[in-house]
Amino acid sequence: MPSAVLEILFGMLLFHTALHERPEWFEFLKDLGFIYLMFIAGMELDLRDLLKNTKVCWYLAIPALSLLLTPAFFYFSGHSFFVGVSLSMISAGITFPVLKEAGLLKQDLGRHLVGVTLAGEMLSIIALTALDVTHRYGLSVLLLVQVLKICALFALATLTLRLIYVIAWWNPGHVRRVMESKDPVEEGIRIAMAIVFVGALIAYGAGMEPIMGSFMAGVMFTFVFRNKSRFEEKINALGFGFFVPFFFMGVGADFDTGIFLSMREIVLALFMAGIIFASNLPALFVKRFLGLSLREGFLMTLLLSAPLSMIVVAGTIGTKLGLIDGGVNNTLILSALFASLIYPFLFRVFARGILPGEEYTHRAQGIAQRQ
């Protein structure tokens, strides 16, 4: 079971049974965890590697088709366009751990899945940003001014990070101590936290959601600083070990547990979970261009259909903007919980026949020993 699911369930249990009021510090840490989560998501996206890949067009095609077809289906069927956007989100939060556990990260299926997931996460953030700005300013000259303003601000941020990179290049010993070796005062973590806040403040100053700024700060940080393996471990440890769980616990605290008493809402959430799977079916049509079999295309569709964190992000933004109400957001979260439990489980079941050769060898040795 993904840790985010457990954190949401824990938040439900804690704040709907033991506690009925949330202290101010909890709300602060929840918002900080939200911002930090998006920074980590941005750090996962390596634009250089993604753009260098010869299959990048097909990586982008799968989420692009999903983001076009699913919202269009909801709109023309008389339902909420934003719900369609939310259900077509793609997230890397569950994909990476499942692939690593199955030993498929270095296989063709794993590499293509990572590429599609990262491309989808990038397009998902772009779609949410576009909806955010359009909802605030409408189709007017102000919208164009706002877009130009956002581009200018992030261009300035990129130049600032590039300047930091040049300074770092002239001080390789200090950078190595901060980024790679054990740093007793954790200067690197302090710098990263500063970048998180600066990115959020830039976005806020540009009239956007702060999380969009922290995401772009993560993307630019990875783009500028390439050698960050050990440093990234520290970032993830601080984020997933402390800040991010507060966000998911807060999601559980805001969740209306009365939804579990309504069979109609449960069936609707299961239907939405099915829509999530259907929205990723373009992977079956693009599979041959990636050199994958029908079975591998089906496995890709299954694992892409567990975008828990991005659906939660989309629901949170949609509620803030007034595009959906709390009841719809609850149903979205429940559908994301169902999808994040069902589809990774099915992926593990159907992926057993394509485990790496080392796994087969290990199993064969175990059978021989028992015999």
For residue range 7-56, list pLDDT tens digits in order: 888 988 888 888 877 888 888 898 888 888 888 888 877 777 777 777 88
Distance of alpha carbon 167 from the chain centroid = 31
Calculate the average pLDDT of the chain.
Answer: 81
State pLDDT tens for residues 136-184. Answer: 777 777 778 777 877 777 777 778 767 877 777 776 666 666 665 566 6
Using the CB atoms, write b or e for 89-100: b if 16+ within 10 Å: bbbbbbbbebbe
3-class SS of residue 326:
helix
pLDDT exceeds cutoff 60 at 196: yes
pTM for the model stands at: 0.77
Name the residue with higher pLDDT: 93 or 248.
248
Distance CA 348, CA 323 (A): 36
Could you tell me the CATH number of the domain that includes residue 128? 1.20.1530.20
**Number of domains, the chain:** 1
Q: At what angle do helices 108-137 and 95-102 cross, to 10 degrees?
A: 180
Task: Tell me which residue range forms the domain holding 264.
Answer: 3-132+243-370
Domain membership of residue 322 (yes or no) is yes
pLDDT exceeds cutoff 80 at 214: yes
Pair 82, 131: CB distance under 8 Å: yes
3-class SS of residue 99:
helix
Domain membership of residue 145 (yes or no) is no
Domain membership of residue 34 (yes or no) is yes
For residue 193, the tally of other CB atoms under 10 A from its CB is 17
Domain membership of residue 194 (yes or no) is no
Pair 302, 354: CB distance under 8 Å: no
Q: What pLDDT is stored for residue 291 in this prediction?
A: 85
Domain membership of residue 216 (yes or no) is no
Domain membership of residue 173 (yes or no) is no
State pLDDT tens for residues 305-352. Answer: 988 888 988 988 888 888 888 889 999 999 999 998 899 889 888 887
pLDDT exceeds cutoff 90 at 87: yes
Domain membership of residue 236 (yes or no) is no
Share of the chain above pLDDT 70, in %: 87
Name the residue with higher pLDDT: 296 or 357.
296
pLDDT exceeds cutoff 90 at 357: no
Confidence of residue 85 (pLDDT cuts 50, 70, 90): very high
Over residues 298-302, the mean pLDDT reads 91
